[in-house]
């Protein structure tokens, strides 16, 4: 394989350096996946390293699948013996073989966030902890943080004996872990936490996997937390053939435990490490990269690097200062229509709107629906989070692991079978007193006191139903099992007979679940029920991203990491939104927000728009924020202010509003947020050839005797005068009073 002709100088150097620790600092769009795939291909084809000796870890199933497919194209079916997977999938695979050493059965369930919340609430109830004093969300986040940092419930309890609040959370943590084990279940954080525990408590098992994985590669290393770091460190300890790829400038997950020190301190952990920087960008136009470099250079806690490209500079970054968040949505919708009209090669899927929080999507949804612009939201309600899907998945989880009390409680009366909440609670209480699973109690239900004959008959019918599914589990496919559940339980029939408005779509969703299972059976090496449940539980939003669907993509900047689009709109670029209020007051938070901005900018390939609003509704109240500080960090010669062009489209969505102007009398500024029309006093209106009141509008070119040529970008009422924000070509941004400043229209 002639790697020199396929890779640039730095990429080639990274691909052929195999033995010993290696840090690849890969800037955005620098071809890191290409380097990793060719590196693995080189190891297998040119160095005759067995694929089974290589472990490659990514952060999403989508990335793992794409990498494996690309390696397969280069080396053929040999790659099938290699592990290319996420941290969680790798750990599940290990735990399925070894978890009995920790006292669990190998058919353990994996609890998602819903299951976790149900179990936490049970623990709080048993410990008499009110949700008004400590919320379940606070407890879940605190427990997750402890697991990420490899702190056991006993250690957490010991460290917080003198802190009343934390001590209460420690009690929940202790009981929660006990109940997880009783249910033969792990939550998402446990997958890595328990694998590290397994390695530390069983040296022979660790040595086996160290021998198995002589070469380890980790993508997106800047996003690793303490437990992931420790998992990799233990595996690499024997041979130190560890290659990590990442970009400290794209570390944006500190809020969920990612520790930037893992990548910044790699050379301290491995003193003999080789460091290679990939700075050649193959994604974005020159001006976009220059803007990204301008912003990120303001961070101090980073490795020095500078993205470069051989591509042309392209368009300048377009800025739009909207009157309101609604106007911001209209502007973006009009721009999409405008670009589609001017460029016949563009499609809706070429556009992405990135925002800081999911709540910002509502305005765009409203505007796009009215404008007939197809869109999809990444990070909204996931397919597997829908009620009907979770119901059937709970059946599958319980059939696979009858110790799973959480799933049992969900399905025992779904569809309705006359087993009420009070009956279920009696069963739960009896199970707790006997230290048994609920299903074991159901199998001998006659022993439970205070149940009526009718209760017992209903429960026996349910047990008989579940037992029939358990008998079928290993005899039929997963898709057939789902069909059997839907038909035998009457779940599908109940939906079809329902008069609820969404019943048809819910039936369609269940049909899609059957299709998903059938597709899994044809594509998976292991078509078992356990494997299907793992795949579904470990799926992420980005894994579901279909790049071929022709619709505008709406997503948070966090969700957009790893993706790219020809045209990107970064919305809500205001201090208080992006960066958030907390970032403005804390240095570390500000640096993370700046990295997030850098990620957003580098998603754009051809055109980048950054929009903000003078006023927007946040948590039900109107607020007014300044334009984001990050915009001021971009060189002035890289940006230009844009305006909303008058067109049939903009006329149709603004027909009840004035067209971007101030005027005398009854008309009101388009923002509709200024309570009274602007009415400057007569003595303050300039005379002669100066800018006339009726010509004041955003986008108007003006000339000032001292500051030169500029463009009006914002207009607001100030007492009896009008305040104009003007971007001057050579003097930057100035705020001037209309009645005082000598402005001429150009």
- pLDDT, one tens digit per residue, over 599-611 is 999 999 999 999 9
Residues forming beta bridges with residue 627, ordered by sequence position:
574
Segment 241-258 shows an average pLDDT of 93
- How many whole angstroms separate alpha carbon 664 and alpha carbon 682? 11
> Which of the following is catalytic: 250, 309, 602, 650?
250
- Total Cβ atoms within 10 A of residue 66: 15
Segment 623-627 shows an average pLDDT of 89
Q: pLDDT-derived band of residue 544, with 50, 70 and 90 as boundaries?
A: low
Q: What is the pLDDT of residue 619?
A: 66
> Which of the following is catalytic: 33, 210, 477, 661?
33
pLDDT tens-digit series, residues 330-364:
999 999 999 999 988 999 999 999 999 888 888 89
Check the annotation: does 431 bind a ligand. Answer: no
Check the annotation: does 26 bind a ligand. Answer: yes
Segment 39-65 shows an average pLDDT of 92
Segment 559-569 shows an average pLDDT of 94
Q: What is the pLDDT of residue 644?
A: 66
- The upper half-sphere exposure of residue 431, i.e. CA atoms within 13 Å in the direction of its Cβ, equals 24
Check the annotation: does 30 bind a ligand. Answer: yes
Hey, what are 303's tokens?
């490795």
Q: What is the pLDDT of residue 742?
A: 81
Q: Is 603 a catalytic residue?
A: yes
> Which of the following is catalytic: 10, 148, 189, 219?
219
Check the annotation: does 516 bind a ligand. Answer: no
Q: Which of 440, 415, 441 is nearest to 427 (CA)?
A: 441
- How many whole angstroms separate alpha carbon 123 and alpha carbon 177? 10
- How many whole angstroms separate alpha carbon 390 and alpha carbon 635? 50
Q: Domain-by-domain residue ranges, the chain?
A: 7-96+191-279, 108-182, 315-379+542-639, 381-536, 691-743
Q: What is the pLDDT of residue 59?
A: 85
Q: Which of 491, 460, 459 is nearest to 395 (CA)?
A: 491
Print the SS3 string covering 119-150: HHHHHHHHCCCCCCCCCHHHHHHHHHHHHHCC
245 in Cβ contact with 217 (< 8 Å): yes
Would you say the CATH fold of 315-379+542-639 matches that of 7-96+191-279? yes
pLDDT tens-digit series, residues 419-463:
999 999 999 999 988 888 999 999 888 877 778 899 899 999 999
Q: What is the pLDDT of residue 250?
A: 94
Q: Of 718 and 90, which is predicted with more confidence?
A: 90
Whole-model pTM: value is 0.76
Superfamily of domain 7-96+191-279: P-loop containing nucleotide triphosphate hydrolases (3.40.50.300)
Main-chain dihedrals φ then ψ at residue 620, nearest 5 degrees: 85, -5
Q: Is 609 helix (H, G, I), strand (E, B) or coil?
A: strand
Q: Is 32 a catalytic residue?
A: yes
> Which of the following is catalytic: 603, 605, 607, 616?
603
Output the CA–CA distances (angstroms, integers) from residue 327 to 152, 569, 656, 667, in the order listed: 51, 14, 13, 17
pLDDT tens-digit series, residues 384-433:
788 999 999 999 999 999 999 999 999 999 999 999 999 999 999 999 88
Sign of CA dihedral 28, 33, 38, 44: positive
> Which of the following is catalytic: 10, 11, 32, 606?
32
Q: What is the pLDDT of residue 654?
A: 43
- State the average pLDDT for the chain: 88
- Total Cβ atoms within 10 A of residue 45: 14
Beta strands in 88-231 (DSSP E): 109-111, 185-187, 215-218
Q: Which residues contact 737 (CB under 8 A, 6 or more apart)?
A: 718, 721, 722, 723, 724
Segment 721-746 shows an average pLDDT of 79
Q: Is 506 a catalytic residue?
A: no
Determine the CATH number of domain 315-379+542-639: 3.40.50.300
Check the annotation: does 254 bind a ligand. Answer: no
184 in Cβ contact with 401 (< 8 Å): yes
Q: Which CATH class is domain 108-182?
A: mainly alpha
Q: What is the pLDDT of residue 706?
A: 81
> Which of the following is catalytic: 10, 98, 112, 220?
220
Check the annotation: does 452 bind a ligand. Answer: no
pLDDT tens-digit series, residues 288-339:
999 999 999 999 999 999 999 999 999 999 999 998 999 999 999 999 999 9
Q: Is 656 a catalytic residue?
A: no
Query: What one-character DSSP code corresponds to residue 150?
Result: T
Pick the CATH number of 691-743 from 3.40.309.10, 1.10.3720.10, 3.40.50.620, 2.30.30.390: 2.30.30.390
Q: Say what the alpha-carbon torsion angle 697, 703, 707, 710 is, to the nearest 10 degrees.
A: 40
Residues forming beta bridges with residue 721, ordered by sequence position:
718
Q: What is the pLDDT of residue 730?
A: 67
- Total Cβ atoms within 10 A of residue 19: 11
Superfamily of domain 381-536: PCRA; domain 4 (1.10.486.10)
- How many whole angstroms separate alpha carbon 672 and alpha carbon 423? 57
Q: Which of 511, 574, 161 is nearest to 355 (CA)?
A: 574
């Amino acid at each position: 394989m002639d790697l020199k002709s396929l890779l640039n100088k730095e990429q080639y150097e990274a691909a052929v350096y195999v033995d010993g620790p290696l840090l690849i600092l890969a800037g955005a769009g620098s071809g890191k996946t290409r380097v990793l795939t060719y590196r693995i291909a080189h190891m297998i084809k040119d160095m005759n390293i067995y694929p089974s000796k290589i472990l490659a870890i990514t952060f999403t199933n989508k990335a793992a699948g794409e990498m494996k497919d690309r390696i397969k194209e280069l080396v053929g079916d040999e790659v099938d013996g290699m592990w290319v997977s996420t941290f969680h999938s790798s750990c599940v695979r290990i735990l399925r073989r070894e978890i009995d050493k920790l006292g669990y059965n190998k058919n353990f369930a994996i609890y998602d966030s819903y299951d976790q919340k149900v179990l936490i609430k049970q623990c709080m109830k048993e410990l008499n902890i009110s949700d008004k004093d400590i919320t379940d969300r606070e407890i879940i986040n605190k427990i997750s943080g402890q697991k990420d940092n490899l702190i056991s419930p006993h250690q957490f309890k010991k460290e917080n004996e003198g802190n009343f609040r934390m001590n209460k959370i420690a009690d929940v943590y202790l009981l929660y872990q006990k109940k997880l084990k009783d249910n033969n279940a792990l939550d998402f954080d446990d997958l890595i936490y328990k694998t590290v525990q397994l390695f530390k408590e069983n040296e022979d098992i660790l040595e086996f996997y160290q021998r198995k994985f002589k070469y380890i590669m980790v993508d997106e290393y800047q996003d690793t937390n303490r437990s992931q770091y420790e998992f990799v460190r233990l595996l690499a300890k024997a041979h130190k053939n560890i290659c990590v790829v990442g970009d400290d400038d794209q570390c944006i997950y500190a809020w969920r435990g990612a520790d930037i020190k893992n990548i910044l301190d790699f050379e301290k952990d491995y003193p003999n490490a080789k460091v290679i920087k990939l700075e050649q960008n193959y994604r974005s136009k020159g001006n976009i990269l220059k803007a990204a470099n301008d912003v990120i250079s303001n961070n101090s806690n980073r490795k020095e690097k500078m993205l470069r490209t051989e591509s042309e500079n392209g368009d300048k970054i377009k800025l739009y200062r909207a009157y309101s968040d609604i106007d911001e949505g209209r502007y973006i919708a009009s721009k999409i229509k405008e670009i589609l009209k001017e460029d016949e090669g563009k499609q809706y899927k070429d556009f992405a709107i990135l925002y800081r929080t999911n709540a910002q999507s509502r305005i765009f949804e409203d505007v796009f629906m009215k404008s007939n612009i197809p869109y999809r939201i990444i990070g909204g309600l996931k397919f597997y989070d829908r009620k009907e899907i979770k119901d059937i998945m709970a059946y599958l989880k319980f059939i696979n692991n009858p110790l799973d009390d959480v799933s049992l409680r969900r399905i025992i009366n779904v569809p309705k079978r006359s087993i009420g909440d009070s009956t279920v609670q009696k069963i739960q209480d009896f199970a707790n007193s006997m230290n048994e699973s609920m299903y074991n109690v159901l199998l001998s239900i006659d022993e439970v006191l205070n149940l009526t004959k009718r209760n017992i008959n209903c429960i026996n019918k349910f047990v008989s139903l579940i037992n029939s599914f358990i008998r079928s589990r290993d005899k039929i496919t997963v898709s057939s099992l789902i069909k059997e559940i839907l038909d035998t339980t009457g779940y599908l029939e109940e939906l079809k007979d329902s008069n609820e408005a969404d019943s048809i779509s819910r039936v369609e969703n269940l049909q899609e679940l059957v299709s998903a299972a059938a597709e899994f059976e044809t594509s998976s090496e292991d078509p078992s029920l356990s494997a299907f449940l793992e795949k579904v539980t470990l799926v992420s939003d980005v894994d579901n991203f279909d790049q071929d669907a022709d619709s505008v993509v709406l997503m948070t900047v966090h969700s957009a990491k790893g993706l790219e689009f020809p045209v990107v709109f970064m919305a809500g670029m205001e201090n208080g939104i992006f960066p958030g209020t907390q970032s403005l007051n804390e240095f570390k938070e500000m640096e993370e927000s700046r990295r997030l901005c850098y990620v957003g900018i580098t998603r754009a390939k051809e055109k980048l728009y950054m929009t903000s609003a003078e006023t927007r509704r946040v948590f039900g109240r109107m607020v007014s924020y300044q334009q984001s500080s990050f915009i001021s960090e971009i060189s002035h010669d890289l940006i230009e202010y844009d305006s909303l062009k008058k067109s049939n489209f903009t006329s149709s969505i603004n027909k009840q509003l004035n067209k971007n102007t101030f005027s005398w009398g009854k008309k009101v500024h388009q923002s509709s947020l200024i309570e009274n029309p602007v009415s400057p006093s007569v003595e303050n209106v300039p005379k002669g050839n100066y800018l006339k009141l009726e010509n004041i509008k955003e986008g108007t070119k003006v000339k000032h005797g001292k500051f030169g040529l500029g463009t009006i970008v914002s207009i607001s009422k100030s007492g009896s005068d009008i305040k104009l924000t003007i971007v001057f070509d050579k003097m930057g941004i100035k705020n001037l009073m209309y009645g005082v400043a000598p402005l001429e229209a150009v």
